[in-house]
Copies of this chain bind each other. A is one copy, B any other.
Amino acid sequence: MTIPDIQSQPDERKINIDKVGVKSLRYPILVEDRQNQVQHTVANLNLYVDLPHHRRGTHMSRFVQVLNNYHQDMIIDQLDTFLDELKSVMNAEAAYVDICFPYFIQKQAPISKINSLMSYDCCFNASFKEDYELWIGVTVPVTTLCPCSKEISEAGAHNQRTHITIKLQYIDFIWLEELVEIAESVASCEIYPLLKRPDEKYVTERAYSRPRFVEDITREIAQILQNDKRIKRFIIEADSIESIHDHNAYALVRSNGYDTNS
């Protein structure tokens, strides 16, 4: 029995489709880990290709089939090959992947030196049209302490959890761990999963001695990234869960090379 292939029908509407594919697919992945060689985690993926105006539909099942070829591999180290294979299998001129996952790094408490695991949300966004382009990104929770609140108050200062997101395109390879370190270095203080009392004293005093606005956070990271020859373009965000409001304070800095409206 022949089963008709509706997707391969011709299309007369003269409309190219920019992206078509599968969204919000969950998949276990292996990620290269600077410390421990390899890390198991769980990713959320979007996989798209373009579709020329003359074909009616894409073949959705092939996205998952190509992904399955990378099941026991470190897919994020070979997204170019993966996208090239997608283009070929889909007969497409452009392919896209968004792959987001929690990544765990061992952190040592500052005084007690007890280790614990901290998780960071990472996203890789890659596209392969004529050229392969990769954006890597990581979101780092830190403490920020308000410089204004400290200055104007007799004691104390409001502080809060702030999410710093660094997204960038690199020329030479950069570890996620390096981005985490940069984000943590500019914060009022780093965040740890486990703090004993001497550690809590340390992080409280350190945050109080290093007040930072979201503006400061994004500017200090921008200065570091601008001077790093390995980096081509970047976007930096700081999103602060203000302890004195029910809304967030937010800042965004883009390198000049990135010129969209988004």
Interface residues of A (CB under 8 A from B): 3-7, 11, 13, 15-28, 39-42, 46, 48, 51, 56-58, 60-61, 64-65, 68, 71, 102, 104, 114-119, 127, 133, 141, 143, 145-161, 189, 191-198, 200-201, 203-205, 207-209, 213-216, 218-220, 222-223, 239, 241-254, 260-262
Contact = CB atoms under 8 A, between A and B. Distances in A.
B117 A161 contact: no
Contacts of A157: 156, 204
B248 A194 contact: no
A261 B261 contact: no
A247 B22 contact: yes
Given A15-B253, A19-B252, A158-B200, 18 more contacts: A5-B197, A15-B218, A20-B251, A23-B247, A25-B193, A42-B42, A51-B215, A57-B213, A64-B193, A65-B194, A143-B158, A148-B197, A148-B200, A153-B204, A158-B159, A158-B207, A160-B241, A260-B262
Contact of A205 (B155, B201, B245, B249): B155
A7 B148 contact: yes
Contacts of A4: 151-152
Contacts of A148: 6-7, 57, 197, 200
A11 to B, nearest CB: 7
Contact of A197 (B23, B46, B152): B152
Nearest to A259: B260
Nearest to A242: B161
A161 B246 CA distance: 8
A16 to B, nearest CB: 8
14 contacts: A5-B197, A7-B148, A13-B220, A15-B223, A26-B102, A26-B247, A27-B119, A40-B40, A48-B250, A56-B215, A57-B215, A118-B246, A150-B204, A156-B204
Contact of A191 (B41, B46, B127, B246): B246
A196 to B, nearest CB: 6
Contacts of A152: 3-4, 6, 197, 200-201, 204
A127 B261 contact: yes
6 closest A-B pairs by beta carbon, nearest first, are A156-B208, A40-B40, A260-B260, A153-B204, A25-B247, A23-B250
A32 to B, nearest CB: 15
A5 B155 CA distance: 17
